[in-house]
């Protein structure tokens, strides 16, 4: 065998050895097997936000706009009481009549004297100052006579009436009068909700008697009560049949300005490690877990914000998936 053949054989042998060795090591390394990803099937609901008015409920009571004691402006004996406790009276109605005998006589005399003074002044027989004096006496007598007739200052119900024959002193009460239409509905809201309430918002009052009326917010206090840290809120009620009394308690439900919100069944919610409430949603077949804000909850579910107006919410199987998982959506 010549030298060329020997070299060729050596090269072939070396290549063969290298090939065998590389094959050995290649076979000795384990081949990693990647199983196909199993996508979890979840039940999904297409949710679209709608306008929602958050109802804020507070304890409230009715209050009369006008409630006053009608007091005598003179001292005399009561000769007539025209109404009974609880009667409705019109503005200007005579309630208590006082003895006017002496005042009537004084008025008649002053009236005659004044008329005479006017004629005498025209003839130049008395001075202007004398005429003014006669007029002053006449006006004083007229006012004193008018004070014997105590009248209603406005429409309302009379109570606490004085008795016929009673000596009514100057400043004593002849009767109390209460106007029941319109009524104020007064309640107090917390520091948490006061910022959401404003005049003009729709409201509903339900009294303990079961009667319900629609109304609207008319006033919200700018300062908190120093003891309760609550804010006074008022609504106005037209008490058409005067059936609602002063001081009747109930619940005032105030509806805030509308916000876009979703109604989500209770079973769909997730609870985070820090107590935060979240929902699992689906975007492009992947799970996106989003923290949400609960406006109000019910037995059936809750009104929430914090997600887009149109959202695919996982309502079944959300406990078996996590953020970023690919899923197969089955729509309700």
Same domain, 270 and 319: yes
The distance in angstroms from the start CA to the end CA of the chain is 86
What is the tally of structural domains in the chain? 4
Do 203 and 251 lie in one domain? The reply is yes
- Out of 255, 283, 316, pick the residue that ends a domain: 255
Q: Contact at 8 Å (CB) between 180 and 244?
A: yes
In the listed set 133, 158, 176, which residue is the last one of a domain according to the structure? 176
Q: Express each pLDDT in 24-71 by its tens digit.
A: 444 545 556 555 667 889 999 999 999 999 999 999 999 999 999 999
Report the CATH number at residue 221: 2.40.30.170
pTM tops 0.85, yes or no: no
d(CA 214, CA 237): 8
Provide the phi-psi class of 326: left if phi over 0, else alpha when psi is between -120 and 50, else beta.
Answer: beta
Flag whether 97 is in a domain: yes
- 69 in a domain, yes or no? no
Could you give the residue ranges of the DSSP H alpha helices within 185-306?
none
* 105 and 199 inside one domain: no
- Closest listed residue to residue 318, CA positions, set 294, 290, 297, 292: 290
Q: Give me the pLDDT at residue 105, please.
A: 94
- What pLDDT score was predicted for residue 272? 76
The answer to whether residues 79 and 172 belong to one domain is yes
Instruction: List CB contacts of 271: < 8 A, sequence separation 6 or more.
Output: 277, 278
Q: Distance of CA 52 to CAs 45, 241, 257, 296, Å?
A: 19, 33, 8, 11
185 and 244 both lie in a single domain: yes
> Is 220 within the bounds of a domain?
yes
Instruction: Say yes or no: 168 and 117 in one domain.
Output: yes
> Does one domain contain both 96 and 117?
yes
pLDDT at 320: 92
Mean pLDDT of 150-177: 96
Look over the chain and give the mean of its residue pLDDT values, rounded to a whole number.
89
Give mean pLDDT, residues 255-273: 92
Q: Does 308 fall in a domain?
A: yes
Q: For the domain that residue 103 is a member of, what is the CATH number?
A: 2.40.50.100
Tell me, yes or no, whether 170 and 82 share the same domain.
Answer: yes
Handedness of CA 314, 319, 324, 329 (dihedral sign): negative
Residue 11's pLDDT is 47
Assess whether the previous peptide bond of 127 is cis (omega < 30° from 0): no
Is the pLDDT at 19 greater than 80? The verdict is: no
Burial class (CB in 10 A: 0-12, 13-18, 19+), 63: middle
Looking at the fold, whether 240 and 187 belong to one and the same domain comes out as: yes
- Regarding whether 166 and 124 lie in a shared domain, the answer is yes
For 167-226, the pLDDT digits (tens) are 999 999 999 999 999 999 999 999 989 999 999 999 999 999 999 999 999 999 999 999
- Domain end residue (candidates: 152, 176, 200): 176
- Domain assignment present for 298: yes
Tokens 């105030």 correspond to 254
Confidence category of residue 275, pLDDT binned at 50, 70, 90: confident
| Residue 34 domain flag | no
Higher pLDDT, 288 or 33: 288
Report d(CA 254, CA 234) in Å as an integer: 10
Is 135 in contact with 115 (CB distance < 8 Å)?
Answer: no
CA atoms within 13 A on the CB side of 96: 35
Domain span at residue 203 reads 56-63+179-255
**pLDDT, tens digit, 9 for 90 and up, residues 74-118:** 999 999 999 999 999 999 999 999 999 999 999 999 999 999 999
Write the pLDDT tens digit of every residue in 106-131. Answer: 999 999 999 999 999 998 888 999 99
- Residue 244 is assigned to a structural domain of this protein: yes
Residue 34's pLDDT is what? 57
96 and 158 belong to one structural domain: yes
**How large is the average pLDDT for residues 144-163?**
96
Shared domain check, 187 and 210: yes
Q: What's the CATH code of the domain at 302?
A: 2.40.420.20
pLDDT of residue 29: 53
In a domain? residue 201: yes
Say which residues have a Cβ less than 8 Å from residue 16's Cβ, sequence separation at least 6. none
């Amino acid at each position: 065998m010549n030298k060329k053949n020997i070299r060729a054989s050596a090269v072939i042998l070396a290549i063969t050895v290298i090939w065998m060795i590389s094959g050995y090591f290649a076979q000795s390394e384990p081949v990693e097997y990647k199983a196909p990803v199993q996508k979890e099937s979840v039940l999904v609901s297409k949710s679209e936000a709608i306008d929602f008015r958050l109802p804020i409920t507070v304890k409230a009571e009715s209050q009369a706009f006008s409630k006053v004691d009608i007091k005598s402006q003179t001292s005399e004996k009561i000769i007539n009481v025209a109404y009974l406790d609880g009667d409705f009276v019109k503005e200007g109605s005579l309630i208590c009549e006082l003895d006017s005998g002496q005042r009537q006589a004084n008025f008649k005399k002053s009236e005659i004297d004044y008329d005479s003074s006017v004629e005498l002044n025209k003839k130049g027989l008395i001075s202007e100052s004398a005429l003014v004096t006669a007029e002053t006496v006449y006006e004083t007598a007229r006012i004193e006579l008018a004070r014997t007739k105590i009248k209603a200052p406005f429409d309302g119900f009379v109570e606490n009436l004085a008795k016929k024959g009673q000596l009514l002193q100057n400043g004593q009460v002849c009767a109390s009068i209460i106007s029941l239409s319109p009524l104020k509905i007064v309640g107090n809201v917390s520091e948490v909700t006061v910022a959401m309430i404003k005049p003009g918002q729709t409201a509903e009052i339900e009294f303990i008697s079961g009667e319900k009326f629609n109304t609207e917010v008319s006033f919200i206090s700018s300062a908190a009560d120093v003891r309760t840290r609550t804010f006074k809120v008022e609504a106005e009620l037209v008490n058409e049949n005067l059936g609602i009394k002063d001081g009747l308690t109930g619940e005032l439900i105030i509806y805030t300005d509308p916000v876009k919100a979703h109604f989500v069944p209770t079973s769909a919610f997730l609870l985070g490690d820090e107590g935060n409430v979240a929902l699992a949603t689906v975007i492009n077949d992947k799970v996106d877990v989003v923290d949400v804000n609960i406006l109000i909850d019910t037995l059936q579910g809750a009104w929430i914000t914090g997600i887009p107006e149109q959202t695919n919410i996982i309502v079944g199987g959300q406990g078996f998936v996590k953020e970023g998982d690919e899923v197969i959506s089955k729509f309700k």
